Amino acid sequence: MSAEPMGLGVVAVSFKRFIFPVVLCFLSVGIVSAHTITGYVYSDTNSNGTLDVGEVGIAQVPISNGIHLVRTDANGFYQITVDANDDPQLADGGWPTISVSWPTGRWPTSNWWRNTEQIGPQNTCNFGLRTDNQFLPFMFVHSTDLHVLRGGREKFAGFRRDMKDMAACVRFAFLTGDLLDLADLQDPSIVNPEIAYFNEQAKDFPMSLFCIGGNHDAVGIRRPGSWSSSDPNRAYR
C-alpha cells in the first residue's frame, strides 16, 4: 500500500490487493473457553447478503479475530478460533468478534464484522462480497478521538456536513476511538444522550462509515454502581 497525505485527515491510497479494515476483538466476561467459527466468503452476485445456490466462494480472503488472521481456502471456506483469554483488555465486556478484509474490486454486501452473539450458537458465519468499481486515487477520511459530545453538538454535525460535501470523491470515513467523551467514567444520564446523538448523526451517513471504539468507549466499566451489567449500552456494545 502506498499513501500520500492530501490534507487534514485525508489520505489517497493505492491498495495493491486488499482493504484492511480493523476491528477490535471484544470478549465477554462470561466466555471462558475457546470455540471455533466456520463459514464462507462468497461472491454475492445478487447482493442480497445471503449465500444462495450457485454463488461461489472466494479464495485467499483474510478473516481476523482481532488477534490472529486466517485466509479462506480455494472454496472460500475459513475456520478461526476465538478465545476470551487472548486479550486481557477484552475482559471488560462484549463478545468475541471476527471480521473480513475484502479484496480490491470487492465490497461487502452485509456487515463486515460479527460478534459471537450475532453469530449464534451454531458458530457459522458467511461474508458476502459483491464486485465494486474502485478507481485510483482511492480516497478515504480517517478521523480519530471525536469524543462526542465534547465541544458541543455542532462539532459532529459539522463533520457530517463536511463529509457530505466530499462524498463525490471520498469513498468512506473511518472513525477510531474514542468515539464518545470518557464514556467509561460517566453516568448513564451523561453517556446515553451521547450515544443517542452519535447514532443519530451516523444514521444515513453520506458515505460508508466504519467505526472502532477506544478504551474510553467501554461504557460505564469504570463507573461501578451506576450501570446495570445488563444495560444494552454498557461496555463494548
Interface contacts to Ca ion, rule CB under 5 A:
44, 46, 48, 50, 52
Distance, CA of 184 to CA of 236 (rounded, Å):
10
User: Under a CB-based contact definition with an 8 Å cutoff, are residues 139 and 119 in contact?
Assistant: no
Per-residue DSSP letters for 42-82? EE-TT-SSS--TT--B-TT-EEE-SS-EEE--TTSEEEEEE
Distance, CA of 97 to CA of 65 (rounded, Å):
6
Q: How many residues does the chain have?
A: 237
CB of 171 to Ca ion, least distance (A): 23
Show the cell assigned to 14: 493505492
- CB nearer Ca ion, residue 127 or residue 236: 127
CB of 40 to Ca ion, least distance (A): 11
Residue from 226, 144, 213 nearest 186 by CA? 226
Residue from 72, 65, 66 nearest 106 by CA? 72
- CB nearer Ca ion, residue 55 or residue 184: 55
- CB nearer Ca ion, residue 36 or residue 46: 46
- CB nearer Ca ion, residue 48 or residue 228: 48
CB of 42 to Ca ion, least distance (A): 8
CB of 43 to Ca ion, least distance (A): 9
CB of 211 to Ca ion, least distance (A): 26
- CB nearer Ca ion, residue 46 or residue 118: 46
The dihedral over CA atoms of 141, 147, 152, 156, expressed in degrees to the nearest 10, equals 20
